[in-house]
Structure 1
Amino acid sequence: MDVCMRTELERREHEILSPKASFADSSLGRGKPEPADPLRTCYQRDRDRILHSKSFRRLANKTQVFLAPEGDHYRTRLTHTLEVAQIARDIARPLRLNEDLTEAIALGHDLGHTPFGHAGERALRRAMARHLGIDPRSDTASGLFRHNEQSVRVTELYERDGRGLNLSLEVLDGMRCHAGSLHARTLEGRIVARADRIAYVTHDIDDAERAGLLTEEMLPIRCREVLGGSSSERIATMVHDAVSTSAAAGDIEMSDKVWGALMGMRAFLFSNLYKTGDAKSEEPKAEHVVEALFDYYANHLGELPSEYETCDAPDEVRVADYISSMTDRFAIRRYQDLFVPRAWGLR
């Protein structure tokens, strides 16, 4: 009975999904072979493993854009991840692609993010480059740490007491290839890459407006005319465009007009929010915390938690693994414990 449940789900995929979808019974499998689950397809099982992982829970206390925001409604790395999953599924469903695979990739795509968002990622790369005597501005330094690659590394090495989540190869590929110019091998993975951009551009505008750093009128007018005048309008425009353009193209695409408007909004945010402005005022402090912690543990390797001590990797990689796993609050607490004198004995 149980075995029939999974095979029935796999049979339904072939009835319902597009021939271009990634079918669970055609998966390339896992790095370590294991018996199939009697009730769930391999991609459903991967989604559940990610949801129950420690690294997924830590996303709740990792920065998206705003460091230590005063308010309950700003996005964290976790809420960003959930929004990416929702947008990705909304694109996958009408295209009749595999929603389970899409959701698993989306939920896992940012598991390797550092504390303090991209500021923490830059600081960690810089610290690693210094440790290795590499120019931090060089191409070599830029490849020392990438959060998309770290997302895969976390699931393979550090979850489940070092046994790893043993995710399907399609899920790992989508997680690794969601950033930059990388191209996932599955359509589902390519959807997540688009959904990630749709989500962060839209909700970063929303958070910046809530913080009083931007107003709707400050946004590029041509982009607003294409995408809409609110977060919900912009998401709807981009999702509908992705679905219609992808259906016609046979790949995951957006029209030149809508993609250009999205990239125009993104460029505006880089110029007016991500790299300058009040939202960045705390970043030097955050970067200092990350670099100071890296330097400390690079010189005190014996103080790394046991799972990082026993990992077979260069010292700087093991230290980076530990620092990147920290939440914002834990990183600040470790910094205080190590570097801030305690006012003991005061009344």
Structure 2
Amino acid sequence: MSRAPYASDPLAHGGREWGEPVAGAQRGPRSEFQRDRDRIIHSMSFRRLKSKTQVFIAPDGDHYRTRLTHSLEVAQIGRVMARALALDEDLTEALCLSHDLGHPPFGHAGETALSEAMERHGGFDHNAQALRTVMRIESPYPEHDGLNLTWDLLEGLAKHNGPVIAPNWALAELDEAFPLMLGTWPSLEAQIAAVADDIAYDNHDIDDGLRAGFLELDDLLTLDFLADQWHAVEKRHPHASRERLLRELIRDQIGLMVNDVLEHTAGQVKGLVSVAEVREAGRQLAGFSPAMAAQERRLKSFMYERLYYHPEQLGAAERARDVVVRLFAAYSQDATLMPDDWQARLPAQDPQRSRVIADFIAGMSDRFAMQACREIYGTSPVGLIHV
């Protein structure tokens, strides 16, 4: 398949922080972006996503999404759009798979707790932590820290939400070591990965919310654009069960969003002849049309009101927050509670000391964090969520 002139090129990537010898470096016939993707998939940080919260904290049910299954779904959507736009599919996939590596246990509840604990030490942000994870923490190689990913992958992770005008301490440190042009928009592959993330969680969180009984179909249908899709699905499949119709609704909505992104983005990039022009455009080029963006904002508002801020969810979030607060306090007071390898890397003084403690906690899965809290305190908050 031919590559668009504004697509990222693995033969012209921006380099790696740590130089790699040509001889022996090629393990199989892979492009540089394929190597990035494979390093992410084989990392421990990626494997731990299987037990990290997406919507529900440590759910009992096997069918609810975790950060891992969410990342896989994002990658599927991102790759489809990248192929349709003649972008580099491997870079897009790598960005989709790695975008949530910095999430701590318990999702946004855990992030809030770490942010509060780290307030005097520079704060905590999961996007910057994703970059810190792949550049400093996840270190399987004998010659250097990190996974040594390409500049293009790191740039896309750093700018998952667009240009960064005021980077926090973590991102600022990494940018100083390996400058990532934080003030510009990233590649189209990175922009597609970001909107694929929105499409995936907007629709799959509906699926999980309905399954858990936290959302009701009648409430969803107060959104006129979803009501239109539901009536169309009913008309096409008049004898299908409600469960099958709901899954068809989710698929239809994903398809509508994907097609909207493809049409809108194709118009935005018309006439561009290089990746540099993408970065110099000064605006987002890949994304929803204004009409779809307005619908998507309404959907997000609905989901915050009805699902993310559901009373049971808020109660579980508070108990999860307490786990992280107690762990941070325990490790700050007695570092011997941490594994030997983490004790060995622990600086003597703050803020660096607290930042490494936050690194350790941020890497935990939900269940590992609850078990660690139980081992230290003899108990841990129970009944986080059962769906």
One-letter identity of the residue aligned with 1:310? R
- 1:341/1:90 CA distance change after superposition, 3 Å: closer
Task: Report whether the alignment pairs 1:235 with 2:254.
Answer: yes
Deviation per CA, 1:226-257: give whole Å up to 9, x if none.
76671101100000110111001112031111
Equivalent position SS for 2:84: coil
Task: Report whether the alignment pairs 1:191 with 2:225.
Answer: no
Judge conservation of contact 1:101–1:188 (CA < 8 Å) in 2. yes
Whole-Å Cα distance in 2 between the matches of residues 322 and 78 of structure 1?
Answer: 19
- Residues 40-51 of structure 1: pairs in structure 2 closer than 5 A: 40-51=30-41
Q: State the partner residue of 1:147.
A: 126
- 1:26/1:226 CA distance change after superposition, 3 Å: farther
Equivalent position SS for 2:218: helix
- 1:122/1:147 CA distance change after superposition, 3 Å: same
Task: Report whether the alignment pairs 1:167 with 2:169.
Answer: no
Deviation per CA, 1:143-167: give whole Å up to 9, x if none.
6111111011011112234731000
Q: State the partner residue of 1:260.
A: 294
Q: Please, what is the CA RMSD of the aligned residues?
A: 2.1
Judge conservation of contact 1:92–1:102 (CA < 8 Å) in 2. yes
Whole-Å Cα distance in 1 between the matches of residues 297 and 11 of structure 2?
Answer: 37
Deviation per CA, 1:27-86: give whole Å up to 9, x if none.
001111113544211100000000000000000000101112231110000001001101
The counterpart of 1:335, out of the listed 373, 378, 387, is 373
Task: Report whether the alignment pairs 1:270 with 2:304.
Answer: yes
Task: Report whether the alignment pairs 1:65 with 2:59.
Answer: no
Deviation at 1:274, TM superposition (A): 1.2
Whole-Å Cα distance in 1 between the matches of residues 55 and 134 of structure 2?
Answer: 24
Deviation per CA, 1:314-347: give whole Å up to 9, x if none.
11111100000000111011000000169xxxxx
Equivalent position SS for 2:17: coil
Judge conservation of contact 1:223–1:265 (CA < 8 Å) in 2. no
Whole-Å Cα distance in 2 between the matches of residues 157 and 253 of structure 1?
Answer: 31
Deviation at 1:225, TM superposition (A): 4.8
Whole-Å Cα distance in 2 between the matches of residues 87 and 192 of structure 1?
Answer: 8
- 1:221/1:296 CA distance change after superposition, 3 Å: same
Judge conservation of contact 2:36–2:94 (CA < 8 Å) in 1. yes
Higher relative contact order, chain-length normalized (CA < 8 Å, sep 6+): 2
Task: Answer with 66-75 or 108-117: which moved more.
Answer: 66-75
Normalised by the length of structure 2, the TM-score is 0.77
Whole-Å Cα distance in 2 between the matches of residues 329 and 318 of structure 1?
Answer: 20
One-letter identity of the residue aligned with 1:98? D
- Residues 256-335 of structure 1: pairs in structure 2 closer than 5 A: 256-305=290-339, 306-307=341-342, 309-310=344-345, 314-335=352-373
Whole-Å Cα distance in 1 between the matches of residues 298 and 379 of structure 2?
Answer: 47
- 1:341/1:17 CA distance change after superposition, 3 Å: closer
Whole-Å Cα distance in 1 between the matches of residues 109 and 162 of structure 2?
Answer: 17
Normalised by the length of structure 1, the TM-score is 0.86
Q: Percent identity?
A: 41
Give the number of equivalent residue pairs.
317
Q: State the partner residue of 2:17.
A: 31
Task: Answer with 154-163 or 97-106: which moved more.
Answer: 154-163
Task: Answer with 210-219 or 93-102: which moved more.
Answer: 210-219
Task: Answer with 252-261 or 154-163: which moved more.
Answer: 154-163
Deviation per CA, 1:187-219: give whole Å up to 9, x if none.
000111111111111111110000111122212
The counterpart of 1:156, out of the listed 135, 139, 158, is 135
Whole-Å Cα distance in 1 between the matches of residues 20 and 223 of structure 2?
Answer: 54
Q: State the partner residue of 2:204.
A: 203
Q: State the partner residue of 1:5.
A: none
Judge conservation of contact 1:227–1:237 (CA < 8 Å) in 2. no
Q: Any unmatched runs of 5+ in structure 2?
A: 165-183, 234-248, 270-284, 381-387
Q: Any unmatched runs of 5+ in structure 1?
A: 1-14, 135-142, 343-347
Q: State the partner residue of 2:244.
A: none
